[in-house]
Amino acid sequence: MSDTQRGATAGGNSPGSTASSDSAPGSDPNSVLRGKVALVTGGGRGIGRAIALALAAEGLDVAVNYRTREAEAREVAERVRARGRAGVALQADVSQQAEVTRLVQQAEKELGPISVLVNNAGSALPQNWTEITEQDWDAVVDNNLKSAFLVTQAVLPGLVARRWGRVIMISSGAAQTGGVVGVHYTSAKAGMHGMTRAYAKAVVKDGVTVNAVAPALIDTEMRVGNREARARMIPQGRLGTSEECAEAVLFCVRTPYMTGQVIHLNGGLYFG
């Protein structure tokens, strides 16, 4: 790891070290998490950015994945390092197997074994069902669902081998309500919930938890429609924030007894 990538990581695990076990009830969770490595896909902006910075504040080193917006990802990695942790921005299209393999290898070479995976990468293509072509369907499902599968498949064997890990899927409230983006997007996000439960069941005895966070109407550039009109749809009268999504992710990371669950973050729009 270069000096520009390394923050002040005193007390952390060195690259290649074995992850520690979960903390006992009542102990400081930060003592367990400090020095572990997180990979956040789509971590350069919006919800992913907030998650990467929250993980760094919690004591983790962070690999910030991006597909095209390099400057934003590098800015997030710089902010991670400003918090005293190691941070690096890594380019990859996570809907492509070969690029996922390269991404995971590069992240572990730069920072050490990955312990926390946040599958946040995705895209929205607002379309009426009558407009969706096979190409549109494939693009949206690949970006939102296939990507989560590919990265999880690449990272999970290491988590199981070290008997400690957290996988968090960032899905959407659209999986519950049908949403407004399109049938392809809603289907992909609903698929993430099934994927979460299937992986959680498969590795429940291996020290790894798998959970999902399903935000609805968060104030980011991916929000569809008029901001004020969308806020009026929420019983709390406002849109959610990326930082609130990050707090839900931190809860998943800190909580070893919870797995296979979906946290619904929606200001009372619906009850999951």
Q: Is residue 54 part of a domain?
A: yes
CATH code for the domain in which residue 106 is found: 3.40.50.720
| Residue 116, phi then psi, degrees to nearest 5 | -130, 125
Q: How far apart are CA 90 and CA 266, in angstroms?
A: 31
Q: Choose, from 185, 199, 257, 270, the residue flagged as catalytic.
A: 185
Q: Is residue 13 part of a domain?
A: no
Q: How far apart are CA 90 and CA 88, in angstroms?
A: 6
Residues 28-53 as b/e (b if ≥16 CB within 10 A, e otherwise) read ebeebbbbbbbbbbbbbbbbbbbbbb
Question: pLDDT category, 24, cuts 50, 70, 90?
Answer: very low
Q: Is residue 259 part of a domain?
A: yes
Q: Is residue 209 part of a domain?
A: yes
Question: With 90 as the cut, is the pLDDT of residue 240 above it?
Answer: no
Q: Tell me, what's the pLDDT at 266?
A: 83
When pLDDT is averaged across residues 186-190 and rounded to a whole number, the result is 95
Q: Is residue 28 part of a domain?
A: no
Q: Is residue 27 part of a domain?
A: no
Question: With 60 as the cut, is the pLDDT of residue 20 above it?
Answer: no
Instruction: Measure the CA dihedral 220/54/122/202, to 10°.
Output: -140
Q: Tell me, what's the pLDDT at 232?
A: 74
Q: Tell me, what's the pLDDT at 31?
A: 65
Q: Which of 17-21, 23-27, 34-38 has the highest mean pLDDT?
A: 34-38
Name which residue leads in pLDDT, 199 or 218: 199
Q: How many domains does the chain have?
A: 1
Q: Summarize pLDDT for 46-77 with one digit per residue, the tens.
A: 999 999 999 999 999 999 999 999 999 999 99
Q: Is 185 a catalytic residue?
A: yes
When pLDDT is averaged across residues 196-202 and rounded to a whole number, the result is 98
Q: Is residue 182 part of a domain?
A: yes
* Domain with 249 in it: 35-265
Q: Summarize pLDDT for 108-136 with one digit per residue, the tens.
A: 999 999 999 999 999 888 899 999 999 99
Q: Tell me, what's the pLDDT at 2?
A: 45
Q: Is residue 22 part of a domain?
A: no
